[in-house]
Amino acid sequence: MLICWGISGSFCTVRRAIEQMKTVINEGHEIIPVGSAVFLHTDTRFGRAQDLKNEIESLCKRHLIGTIAEAEPVGPVMRPDLAVIAPASGTTLAKLAHGVYDTPVTLAAKACQRTGTPLLLGAATNDALSGNFENIARLYTRKNIYFVPMRQDDPEKKPFSMVCDFNALPAAICAAAAGKQLAVWQ
């Protein structure tokens, strides 16, 4: 299966996403990587942007799409079987929920959606149970949009934060490709 995989700016979860990319590639799938501008240009305590980009390109054996112009033909020209955004930050979820496609990741998702390609979202956001709850609900009701199962990551210190179960990504990929949603909440 050819998978378009977007990575947005939930920096503390990027390493988990990369580990699952390795698993998915080892299962025989091919990945077209796409990065948001925030992900591609922000060094954090979780890693240098250029190092993460290089690692993903080496793993996927492809250039990481990082501009709007590069992202536009993903759906109609490259024709992936599935689109994944993991991690999907709160900002990315809000943009998708409201039809704002101004990053390489959101535009690649739109390009895939316009051809009927399923979209799988691996949410990782500190405001999932507050400001972004409405956006998650809006996306959940849309055709061909699926979620990786998610849970609160630290109910005591971050009561509104949720993160997807990155270990469930391979199963969620298979389910979404078959038009099925795994249990959303854990």
Q: What is the mean pLDDT of each run of 10 residues along the chain (186 residues)?
A: 94 92 97 94 90 97 96 92 96 96 96 94 91 94 96 90 94 97 81
pLDDT of residue 154: 86
pLDDT of residue 27: 97
The model carries a pTM of: 0.95
What is the domain partition of the chain in residue ranges? 2-177
Q: Are 5 and 86 in contact (CB under 8 A)?
A: yes
Cβ neighbours of residue 40 under 8 Å, at least 6 residues apart?
49, 53, 64, 66
Q: Are 21 and 56 in contact (CB under 8 A)?
A: yes
- Output phi, psi for 144, to 5 deg: 65, 20
- Output phi, psi for 31, to 5 deg: -120, 130
88-118 burial: b if 16+ Cβ within 10 Å, else e: bbbbbbbbbbeeebebbbbbbbbbbbeeebb
Positive or negative: CA dihedral 121, 93, 20, 57: positive
Instruction: Please name the amino acid found at residue 119.
Output: L
The answer as to CATH 3.30.565.10 being correct for domain 2-177 is: no
Beta partners for residue 185, in sequence order? 150
Structure token pair of residue 156: 């005591």
pLDDT of residue 186: 59
pLDDT of residue 102: 96
Question: How far apart, in whole angstroms, are the C-alpha atoms of residue 70 and residue 104?
Answer: 8
pLDDT of residue 164: 93
